[in-house]
């Protein structure tokens, strides 16, 4: 991967930074959880069927439960420790003691102790099936939060196999594989989490695609990076994802006309982050006989403050030259209008519309390009549709803009890269 792409990908979470974020989300989920089965005996009023606490620990357990209700976690653990020392204890006694202890330790953020408590509780075999399922999920999250990833994955697979996994549970599986640098399984579980979220009517989590993006970046797989970036753009439409995608696409493009198409997308989504982006686009526009638009691009570059001191003299000279050419074009517009109107082919009308676009006259740009496309015989209909769409977008006529961009599909031999990028742009237009 080139140095420029590495820089463009700097917005992607690195694995070391991701660890803290993942653990924070897991711990938050655990902290919000209640103690599985903590009051099961109380809820079941049928004393003949529900197991009960042994009389020998009744005093300690009542004190512990009262302390839990008051948020006195250490006091609860003190009473539970006392109960644990009594003998004999039934499996239900032990399950309840460990269950209560686990809950108190979660609230105290003693997550390793809580994990040990819940493992002991589930090992008693005294949980109901529903309680056991809830505790397995809690152990899944706890072991993940305690960075015991192989154990967490085993608990997670149990949750998934039971059919009770939520999209978030499946997402944690992807996170765990990511933290173990297992990119193959990261991608598999990320895709499962995305599918589960969509089935549940939820938006997929952004980090699922970030995992895939980082794995692709680490492997130097540009195609996989671009696929992940497209998914991230569809989900978030964030400028940094556009920037990285367009730099990858630009790196692989060899045709100047298509390169300029990429720059147009980059400009329109505000993804330009260096002065060289603006300068190269302006030069390409100048070479394409579009000095008005080229001057507008450099004006924005100067206003952005991105132009480096060592580039300012050269940029100002280029800008002055482009402005002079643009002024000449403006003066010649009436004659250009007359020639385009008389010409039976549509090429001149389209070029007239492109000049209007560069001058910021979007209404006349739409009219001229529309007349040119209607006449036919346009040399580069892909450029015509793009400028028509951009002009309509500038006029806030978004349905018409999307219609124009959609017409690119009808252009013979249109660059697949150009078509793909403008389709994506049109999909997110107005979002």
Least confident of 4-8, 158-162, 263-267: 4-8
Cα dihedral sign, 31-33-39-41: negative
- In the DSSP assignment, the letter for residue 204 is P
User: What number does CATH give the domain 333-431?
Assistant: 1.25.40.10
Kindly report the pTM of this predicted structure. Answer: 0.84
C-alpha distances out from residue 170 to 17, 121, 204, 231, 365, Å: 21, 24, 11, 18, 50
Q: How many Å apart are CA 27 and CA 135, to the nearest integer?
A: 15
Q: How many Å apart are CA 100 and CA 123, to the nearest integer?
A: 15
Residue 36: the pLDDT is 40
Q: How many Å apart are CA 381 and CA 378, to the nearest integer?
A: 6
Same fold for the domain at 10-224 and the one at 333-431?
yes
Query: Which residue is listed with tokens 């403006």?
Result: 330
Is a pLDDT exceeding 50 seen at residue 7? no
pLDDT tens sequence across 37-73: 444 444 444 445 678 999 999 999 999 999 999 999 9
Q: Where are the domains of the chain?
A: 10-224, 253-331, 333-431
Residue 51: the pLDDT is 87
**Two structure tokens written together for 264:** 């147009």
Is a pLDDT exceeding 60 seen at residue 170? yes
pLDDT tens sequence across 77-112: 999 999 999 999 999 999 999 999 999 999 999 999
Residue 31: the pLDDT is 58
Query: Which residue is listed with tokens 């252009």?
Result: 411
In the chain the first and final C-alpha atoms are separated, in Å, by 31
C-alpha distances out from residue 248 to 256, 264, 266, Å: 15, 15, 12
Residues 6+ apart with CB under 8 A from 131: 36, 37, 40
Check whether domain 10-224 has CATH 1.10.10.10, yes or no = no
- In the DSSP assignment, the letter for residue 13 is P
Instruction: Give the Cβ contact number of residue 96 at 10 Å.
Output: 31
């Amino acid at each position: 991967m080139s140095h420029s792409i590495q820089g463009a990908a700097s917005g992607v979470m690195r694995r070391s930074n991701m660890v803290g974020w993942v653990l924070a989300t897991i711990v938050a989920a655990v902290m919000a959880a209640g103690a599985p089965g903590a009051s099961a005996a109380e809820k079941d009023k049928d004393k003949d069927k529900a197991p009960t606490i042994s009389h020998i620990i009744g005093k300690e357990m009542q004190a512990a439960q009262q302390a839990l209700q008051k948020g006195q976690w250490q006091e609860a653990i003190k009473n539970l420790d006392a109960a644990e020392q009594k003998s004999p204890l039934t499996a239900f006694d032990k399950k309840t003691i460990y269950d209560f202890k686990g809950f108190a330790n979660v609230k105290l953020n003693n997550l390793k102790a809580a994990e040990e408590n819940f493992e002991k509780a589930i090992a008693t075999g005294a949980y109901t099936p529903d309680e056991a399922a809830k505790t397995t999920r809690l152990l899944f999250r706890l072991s993940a939060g305690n960075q015991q990833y192989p154990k967490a994955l085993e608990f997670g697979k149990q949750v998934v196999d039971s059919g009770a996994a939520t999209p978030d549970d499946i997402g944690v599986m992807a996170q765990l594989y990511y933290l173990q640098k297992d990119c193959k399984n990261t991608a598999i579980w990320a895709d499962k989490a995305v599918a589960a979220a969509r089935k549940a009517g939820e938006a997929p989590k952004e980090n699922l695609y970030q995992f895939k993006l980082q794995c692709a970046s680490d492997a130097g797989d540009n195609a996989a990076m671009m696929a992940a970036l497209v998914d991230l753009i569809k989900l978030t439409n964030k400028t940094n994802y556009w920037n990285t995608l367009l730099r990858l696409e630009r790196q692989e493009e060899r045709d100047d006309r298509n390169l300029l198409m990429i720059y147009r997308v980059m400009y329109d989504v505000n993804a330009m982050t260096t002065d060289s982006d603006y300068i190269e686009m302006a030069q390409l526009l100048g070479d394409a006989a579009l000095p008005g638009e080229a001057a507008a691009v450099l004006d924005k570059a100067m206003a952005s403050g991105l132009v480096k001191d060592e580039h300012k003299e050269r940029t100002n000279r280029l800008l002055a030259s482009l402005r002079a050419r643009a002024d000449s074009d403006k003066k010649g517009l009436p004659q250009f209008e007359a020639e385009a109107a008389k010409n039976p082919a549509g090429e001149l009308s389209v070029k007239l519309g492109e000049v209007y676009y560069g001058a910021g006259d979007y209404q006349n740009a739409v009219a001229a390009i529309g007349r040119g496309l209607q006449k036919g015989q346009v040399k580069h209909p892909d450029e015509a549709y793009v400028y028509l769409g951009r002009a309509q977008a500038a006029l806030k006529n978004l349905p018409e803009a999307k219609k124009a961009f959609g017409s690119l599909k009808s252009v013979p031999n249109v660059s697949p890269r150009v078509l793909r990028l403008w389709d994506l742009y049109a999909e997110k237009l107005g979002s």
